[in-house]
């Protein structure tokens, strides 16, 4: 549960698709990517940004890093669970295995997720549409908080979550990796096997993952029918490293089958421990292929990434044929040139975008068939002195959307649409290294987001969220202006990071509930208005002596409509304030050095009551506060020389609390409970054991 919370940034919230922490990976075990408790490391750690390598202390925007060790030690049913509890982050959850990241109160298409170097595209506008990425292929996670439209164009209004693949193996080495986990509450199990290597610059890395879980339970609702899921992933990589650059080809295939929760509680006939998927349920097949290339030219580097991905999403009421089926094709492209100039200047310029086509292949419809094409051009620059680091840039984007008309039973279901959206974004940031221990930073950014096809033209039942959604063809693009102020102080005994932000968003788009039902479902329609989000995060780590760390963090965001009446000002889907406290003790090597990097950790999390909610037409309700307690124990068991066995035992919700997170979509499900209460609670007490065994083979 321990987390690393540090500030970095690249040219105003601009982070390239291949940001990589420049740290060493030990051959015997996976180490933490960054140890924020050591002052010397903080001052030396660098990231590969849009204009080249830059130190963390010289970055202008708030950023967080989740190391491999943290990912391995986390408890959750999906990747977002590992990062959703960090300050400034939250998650929208919809049952078993489905979570979506939220950054400073903004989620859905306002968060860009970068996987294998390209942005993940998988109908992310839906409540019950998760990331559908191969989490075993994720080595570490970086989260940029703030508009990143400068690098990613439309949609990066809230920030970016970058999923880094594993680093290439060192020359002359190979590694076989096997492992798995088991969780007690929902019986989740997974097992995986992989093989990677590097022989004379020829690289490869492949793995297979199989995962399944039965229904989860809590002490109020018992087992939750529809929360079971299955997942099977395959990923492969081939590459070539040479003095002139590199050329890598990556492939992944994620096969995810989650149930759909409709609110029925378990009866005598429901087998809560069964791994079988019962109707209704989804099937999601996400296939991805990416070509990543770089060429070195003296002080310059040319990078080119081209990717294709297909998201095939189906919803079944019966097992034979899908009621709803959508096939989304996406081609991503990105070309940029980085150059280092004399007198401490770095520049970067490039072009990028994507092409999309969505095809309906089921009997039911939610959004129309449509095509999308966008393109953006950008330029950035950085300049630094001994104490100052300045960065800035600008970008122009154009997005074209075109949808097809559909007539159903003599009625027009979808009108044909043609939309063209343009946006100009920019950024300017400064970092002042006041002393070797204290850094102060200020950043200003302009963001842009075009409406999605679901926001413009939705007309149908969204089974996963149990609501009827209507689009609004008159929506305008969202445009944001955000100011960030941050500081960090690091000494031998104390580490402090703090950040404040204010984000003004013109024409903010959100769902509002209409005062009637359609086909027996609550009806919602997209609207918009001007908004303002304010808040901040603070993290303090006190380590009076090296093995002990006591870390407290607090995150808060308040979102309002600036032009709405006083009683209707709160924006929907705003996370509650949250305080976390982690106490971690790192043990010395035990058993004659066979047990290394052992630790004991106790984590506490308090989510405050969310009383600032969007109450118009009962769109939202207040959420009570709740307190969670957990622990984690881990060690690396070293055997046979440099190889090791990574072991982790942890518990989530140790006190078995029944609670409903404010952003849980299950909070508004109508249940068949005799008391008539609404909503389902989250998972109860959950123990987890994880084993990871990397076996190194040295060819020298």
Instruction: Determine contact, residues 221/263, Cβ cutoff 8 Å.
Output: no
pLDDT at 8 over 60: no
DSSP type of residue 137: G
What confidence category does residue 55 fall into, taking pLDDT thresholds of 50, 70 and 90? Answer: low
pLDDT of residue 33: 33
pLDDT at 64 over 90: no
At 202 the three-state DSSP class reads strand
What confidence category does residue 32 fall into, taking pLDDT thresholds of 50, 70 and 90? Answer: very low
pLDDT at 553 over 60: yes
One-character DSSP codes across 341-376 = ETTTEEEEEEEEEEEEEEEE-SSB-SS--EEEEEEE
pLDDT at 696 over 80: yes
Q: Averaged over 612-640, what is the pLDDT?
A: 89
- H helix and E strand count, the chain: 5, 38
What is this structure's pTM? 0.90
User: Would you tell me how many other CB atoms lie within 10 Å of the CB of residue 189?
Assistant: 15
4-262+279-698: CATH topology is: Maltoporin; Chain A (2.40.170)
Q: Averaged over 26-38, what is the pLDDT?
A: 37
What is the rounded CA–CA span in Å between residue 246 and residue 293? 6
Q: Averaged over 350-365, what is the pLDDT?
A: 94
Lowest mean pLDDT among 215-224, 269-278, 375-384, 436-445: 269-278
Instruction: Determine contact, residues 326/294, Cβ cutoff 8 Å.
Output: no
What is the rounded CA–CA span in Å between residue 284 and residue 253? 10
pLDDT of residue 3: 39
pLDDT at 222 over 70: yes
pLDDT at 398 over 80: yes
Domain ranges of the chain: 4-262+279-698
What confidence category does residue 51 fall into, taking pLDDT thresholds of 50, 70 and 90? Answer: low
Instruction: Decide which of 603 and 77 is more confident.
Output: 603
pLDDT of residue 670: 80
Instruction: Determine contact, residues 127/58, Cβ cutoff 8 Å.
Output: no
At 455 the three-state DSSP class reads helix
Lowest mean pLDDT among 41-50, 531-540, 619-628, 675-684: 41-50
Lowest mean pLDDT among 4-8, 95-99, 157-161, 558-562: 4-8
All residues at 6 or more sequence positions from 676 whose CB lies less than 8 Å from its CB, including other chains: none
Instruction: Decide which of 55 and 176 is more confident.
Output: 176
Instruction: Determine contact, residues 251/216, Cβ cutoff 8 Å.
Output: no
pLDDT of residue 50: 47
Residue 152: phi and psi, rounded to 5, are -120, 0
What confidence category does residue 244 fall into, taking pLDDT thresholds of 50, 70 and 90? Answer: very high
- Bridge partners (DSSP) of residue 356 are 330, 372
What is the rounded CA–CA span in Å between residue 322 and residue 295? 46
pLDDT of residue 566: 72
pLDDT of residue 65: 83
Output the CA torsion sign for 656, 185, 70, 253: negative
Instruction: Determine contact, residues 562/531, Cβ cutoff 8 Å.
Output: yes
pLDDT of residue 471: 94
Q: Which two tokens stand for residue 684?
A: 């109860």
User: Would you tell me how many other CB atoms lie within 10 Å of the CB of residue 386?
Assistant: 7
pLDDT at 131 over 50: yes
pLDDT of residue 24: 33
End-to-end alpha carbon distance in the chain? 38
pLDDT at 1 over 70: no
At 619 the three-state DSSP class reads coil
pLDDT of residue 129: 85
What is the rounded CA–CA span in Å between residue 214 and residue 562? 45
What confidence category does residue 198 fall into, taking pLDDT thresholds of 50, 70 and 90? Answer: very high
Output the CA torsion sign for 371, 159, 624, 661: positive
Bridge-based pairing state of the strands 173-183 and 189-199? antiparallel
pLDDT at 27 over 60: no
Q: Averaged over 432-448, what is the pLDDT?
A: 92
Provide the mean pLDDT of the chain.
Answer: 86
Instruction: Determine contact, residues 40/124, Cβ cutoff 8 Å.
Output: no
pLDDT of residue 641: 64
């Amino acid at each position: 549960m321990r987390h690393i919370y540090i500030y970095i940034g690249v040219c105003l919230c601009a982070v390239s698709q291949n940001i990589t922490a420049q740290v060493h990976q030990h051959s015997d075990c996976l180490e933490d990517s960054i140890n924020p408790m050591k002052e010397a490391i903080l001052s030396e750690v660098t990231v590969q940004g849009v204009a080249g390598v830059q130190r963390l202390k010289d970055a202008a925007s708030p950023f967080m890093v989740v190391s491999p060790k943290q990912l391995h030690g986390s408890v959750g049913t999906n990747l977002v669970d590992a990062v959703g509890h960090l300050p400034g982050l939250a998650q929208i959850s919809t049952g078993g295995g489905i979570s979506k990241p939220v950054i400073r109160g903004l989620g859905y298409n306002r968060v860009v997720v970068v996987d294998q170097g390209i942005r993940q595209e998988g109908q992310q506008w839906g409540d019950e549409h998760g990331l559908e990425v191969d989490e075993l292929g994720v080595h570490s996670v970086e989260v940029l908080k703030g508009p990143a439209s400068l690098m990613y164009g439309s949609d990066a209004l809230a920030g970016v979550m970058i999923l880094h693949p594993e680093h290439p193996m060192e020359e002359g080495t190979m590694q076989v990796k096997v492992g798995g986990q088991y969780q007690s509450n929902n019986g989740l199990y997974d097992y995986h096997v992989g093989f990677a290597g590097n022989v004379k610059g020829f690289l490869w890395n492949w793995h297979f993952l199989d995962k399944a879980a039965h229904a989860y339970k809590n002490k109020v609702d018992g087992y939750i029918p529809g929360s079971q899921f299955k997942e099977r992933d395959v990923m492969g990589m081939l590459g070539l490293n040479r003095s002139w650059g590199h050329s890598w080809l990556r492939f992944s295939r994620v096969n995810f089958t989650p149930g759909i929760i409709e609110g029925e509680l378990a009866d005598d006939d429901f087998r809560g421990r069964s791994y079988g998927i019962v109707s209704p349920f989804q099937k999601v097949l996400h296939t991805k292929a990416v070509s990543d290339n770089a060429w070195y030219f003296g002080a310059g580097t040319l990078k080119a990434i081209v990717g294709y991905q297909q998201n095939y999403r189906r919803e079944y009421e019966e097992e034979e044929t899908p009621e709803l089926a959508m096939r989304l094709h996406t081609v991503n492209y990105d070309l940029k040139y980085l150059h280092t100039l004399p007198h401490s200047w770095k520049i970067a310029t490039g072009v990028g975008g994507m092409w999309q086509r969505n095809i309906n292949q089921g009997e039911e419809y939610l959004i129309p068939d449509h095509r999308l094409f966008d393109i953006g051009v950008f330029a950035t620059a950085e300049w630094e002195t001994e104490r100052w680091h300045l960065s800035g840039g600008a970008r122009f984007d154009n997005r074209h959307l075109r949808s097809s008309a559909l007539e159903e039973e003599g009625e027009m279901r979808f009108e044909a649409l043609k939309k063209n959206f343009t946006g100009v974004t920019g950024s300017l940031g400064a970092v002042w290294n006041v002393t070797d221990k204290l850094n102060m930073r200020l950043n200003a950014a302009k963001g842009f987001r075009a409406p999605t096809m679901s926001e413009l033209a939705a007309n149908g039942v969204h089974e996963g969220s149990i609501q009827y959604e209507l689009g609004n063809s008159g929506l305008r693009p969202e445009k944001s202006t955000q100011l960030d102020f941050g500081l960090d102080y690091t000494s031998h005994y104390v580490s402090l990071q703090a950040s404040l932000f204010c984000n003004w968003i013109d024409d903010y788009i959100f769902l509002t509930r209409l005062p009637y039902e359609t086909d027996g479902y609550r009806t919602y329609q997209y609207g918009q208005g001007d908004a303002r989000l304010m808040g901040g995060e603070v993290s303090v780590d006190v380590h009076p002596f090296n093995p002990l760390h006591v870390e407290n963090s607090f995150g808060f965001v308040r979102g309002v409509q600036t032009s709405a009446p006083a009683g209707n000002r709160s924006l929907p889907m705003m996370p509650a304030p949250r305080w976390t406290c982690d106490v971690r003790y790192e043990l010395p090597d035990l058993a004659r050095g066979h047990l290394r990097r052992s630790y004991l950790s106790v984590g506490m999390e308090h989510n405050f009551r969310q009383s600032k909610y969007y109450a118009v037409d009962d769109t939202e309700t207040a959420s009570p506060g709740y307190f969670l307690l957990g622990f984690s124990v881990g060690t690396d068991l070293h055997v046979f020389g440099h190889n090791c066995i990574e072991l982790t035992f942890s518990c989530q919700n140790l006190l078995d609390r029944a609670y409903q997170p404010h952003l849980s979509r299950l909070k508004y499900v109508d249940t068949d409970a005799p008391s008539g209460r609404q909503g389902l609670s989250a998972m109860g007490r959950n123990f987890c054991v994880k084993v990871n065994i990397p076996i190194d083979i040295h060819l020298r």
